[in-house]
Amino acid sequence: MAPEPGASPDAMTSKFEEAIQKIGDSIEEAVKGFNDLVGDIKKWAWALGAPVMLWIKNKMDDVREGLEKLIEKVKWVVEHAGGIPSLIITSFKWLSMVQTPTSLIAGQIGNKDLMLSYWEGQAATVYAERSTAQQAAASDMATKADFISTWLFTIAKGNVEYAVKAAENISMLAGELTQAAVDAGGVLTILEAVNTLAGAVGSLVENALNMLFDIANQVVDALQKMRDVNASMGNKAAMTGPGGTWPQAVNV
């Protein structure tokens, strides 16, 4: 997919950076919520008894495991966040600085000047042949630039989607933990709060990991197309100059 109409590098970069900030804030909130809940449980341990505490421990172990799994996944995007804005900008630059100018050149080469239309003779024939080759070369460069831009944009967009979804998921998990800590304010509500939390976290983490796995696979698939990128850039069939260089209109 090439950058969508109306998309801009600034908007995508801002969206990505906001997601990264939200991930960091939500991780802190989730850890605090978990620790607050553990604190409430310890406070009322004397009144709960050993069998109940064992049940609570098992439930909280499940919650901790789910929290750690999700944090591990969302931290991945935070740790690899540095290069994504550059990737976004580069994708758009391949369009603005290469694809657009070369496509314009291809169109200009194809439009003969009024004076040239009266040009005849061997020189005119040779020039026409060379200009046709130049037009093909410019069109080929425009196509290659669009291909590279699309490839980079696919990877960048996948990373942005991963960050946004990761932020949403860890934020929801943080909300569940915070609410559980609030609900477990007394000995009579701890069991219900822990049970509700364990069920919510199990479902949330499973759905979140599946979603993030799918997006990560899309990014990996795009990265694995490096061979296609190399093949596209290495194909110089449209470059008819010596050694596959730009076809010159006049040989010096």
**Model pLDDT for residues 9-30, shown as the tens digit of each residue:** 899 899 999 999 999 999 999 9
Q: Return the closest-CA partner of residue 200 out of 243, 169, 158.
A: 169
For residues 188-193, average pLDDT? 87
Percent of the chain with pLDDT over 70: 84
Q: Given the structure tokens 């024939």, which residue do they identify?
A: 125
Q: Residue 22 has which token pair? A: 């939200």
Indicate the pLDDT class of residue 54, thresholds 50, 70 and 90. very high
Q: Return the closest-CA partner of residue 22 out of 206, 163, 207, 157.
A: 163
What is the pLDDT, as a whole number, of residue 198? 92
pLDDT at 222 over 90: no
pLDDT at 110 over 60: no
- Asked if 94 contacts 149 with a C-beta cutoff of 8 angstroms, the reply is yes
pLDDT at 86 over 80: yes
- Domains of the chain from N-terminus onward: 9-108+140-234 (1.20.120)
Distance (Å, whole) CA 34 – CA 48: 19
Residues in the chain, overall count: 252
Average pLDDT score, the chain: 82
For residues 52-70, average pLDDT? 93
Q: How many CB atoms lie within 10 A of CB 53?
A: 15
Taking CA atoms, 7 is separated from 12, 44, 55, 119, 154, in Å, by: 7, 54, 51, 45, 13
Helix %, strand %, coil % of the chain (to 5): 85, 0, 15
Indicate the pLDDT class of residue 49, thresholds 50, 70 and 90. confident
Q: Residue 153 has which token pair? A: 């944009």
What is the pLDDT, as a whole number, of residue 225? 76
- Asked if 27 contacts 172 with a C-beta cutoff of 8 angstroms, the reply is no
- Asked if 109 contacts 84 with a C-beta cutoff of 8 angstroms, the reply is no
The larger pLDDT score, comparing residue 176 to residue 138, is at: 176
Indicate the pLDDT class of residue 118, thresholds 50, 70 and 90. low
Distance (Å, whole) CA 162 – CA 219: 9
Indicate the pLDDT class of residue 114, thresholds 50, 70 and 90. very low
For residues 178-197, average pLDDT? 87
Q: What are phi and psi of 85, to 5 degrees?
A: -55, -40
Q: How many CB atoms lie within 10 A of CB 170?
A: 26
For residues 189-193, average pLDDT? 89
Question: pLDDT tens across 141-171, in order?
Answer: 888 888 888 888 888 888 888 889 989 999 9
Q: How many CB atoms lie within 10 A of CB 202?
A: 15
pLDDT at 115 over 70: no
Which of 53-57, 123-127, 175-179, 184-188 shows the lowest per-residue confidence on average (mean pLDDT)? 123-127
Sign of the alpha-carbon torsion through 169, 170, 176, 182: negative
What is the pLDDT, as a whole number, of residue 58? 94
What is the pLDDT, as a whole number, of residue 91? 87
Q: How many CB atoms lie within 10 A of CB 207?
A: 12
